[in-house]
Amino acid sequence: MRVAAIQQEPVIGDIAANLAACEKLAEEAGTAGAEIIVLPEFFTSGMGFAPVLANVGLPFDGPATHLVQAVSRRFGAIVGGSFLCRDPDGEVRNAFVVASEGIVVGRHDKDMPTMWENCFYVGGSDDGIVALAGLDLGAVLCLEFNRTATALRLRGGVDLVVSGSSVWSVPEFLPGPAFRRLEERMDAIDRSRPRLARMVGAPVVEATHCGRLDSAMPWAPGLRYRTRLRGGAQILDAAGSVVARREPEAGPGIVIADVAVGRAVPVEPLPDSYWIEPMGPVGELLWRYQRIHGRRWYRRHVGPLRPRLIP
């Protein structure tokens, strides 16, 4: 089956620009014969600690879903991607929507926000499996790759993992040795992708973001978080081997390949730990403090009981 993953260079908070860029890349993939096309996480908005993102939640039946439907209809393909979705209950969720031939066939809400993402949405609780006729897709969003619970809920039960990520790297203001140690930890966490393929027993299609990130930092007024988006849109087989990959330095574009879609026997056992790859002490600290900050920020500025929106 021919599958494609998009690598996008997002414009933070600019819905129109991001939709236009994704539509162009998705059509390139469809024209190249892709039967499954995956857009990145937050394909309508990008992600950073940017107050403008308080205002970018779209209705489920809005322009993001319409784009996914339109591309799937035009090419007779399965298309999926995630965006900040404001649901009828007033909450915002990170919703991965899947359409087949123009019809929405499933949705997965990321189980919990990552670090400063807590400022902009709340987590979901579905199993992440989108069932089509003769094909079960397992949806995974970014750091869900590194949670043992993700491998457990999909293990032996899906034919293909469809995934979107938005991964920012280490802030460049850190001194050299500290920067290098944290980069090495990020590289280790990246290994959760092939490991999850082996634990689940299915190929993986991962769409990503590339380019630069320049945003504020939680609880650090005046300090900028400047770094690169790690990128690396890729397609892995069920053994975790790279079938095709677009390096982040290549910029926006698509990666496309033919893969043997279907369930394989999982060849790696599940670890007896919360994380597949350890986050390290700094990662654990950031995970906790940004979660505390983000949940308070969300209640004040984004959630259904917010007294005001950030301009």
Strand residue runs (E) in 43-158: 78-86, 92-100, 103-109, 129-132, 135-141
Residues 6+ positions from 184 with CB-CB distance below 8 Å: none
pLDDT at residue 309 in the model: 47
Identify whether the C-beta of residue 97 lies closer than 8 Å to the C-beta of residue 104.
Answer: yes
Mean pLDDT in residue range 169-176: 92
| Rounded percentage of the chain residues whose pLDDT exceeds 70 | 98
Q: What is the per-residue pLDDT across 9-59, written as a single tens digit (0 to 9) for each?
A: 999 999 999 999 999 999 999 999 999 999 999 999 999 999 999 999 999
Report how far residue 209's alpha carbon sits from residue 83's, in angstroms, rounded to the nearest whole number.
Answer: 13
pLDDT-derived band of residue 307, with 50, 70 and 90 as boundaries?
low
This prediction's pTM: 0.96
Q: Domain boundaries in the chain?
A: 2-301
Topology classification of domain 2-301 = Nitrilase/N-carbamoyl-D-aminoacid amidohydrolase (3.60.110)
The residue among 174, 261, 278, 171 whose CA lies nearest residue 217 is: 171
pLDDT at residue 231 in the model: 85
Averaged pLDDT of the chain:
95
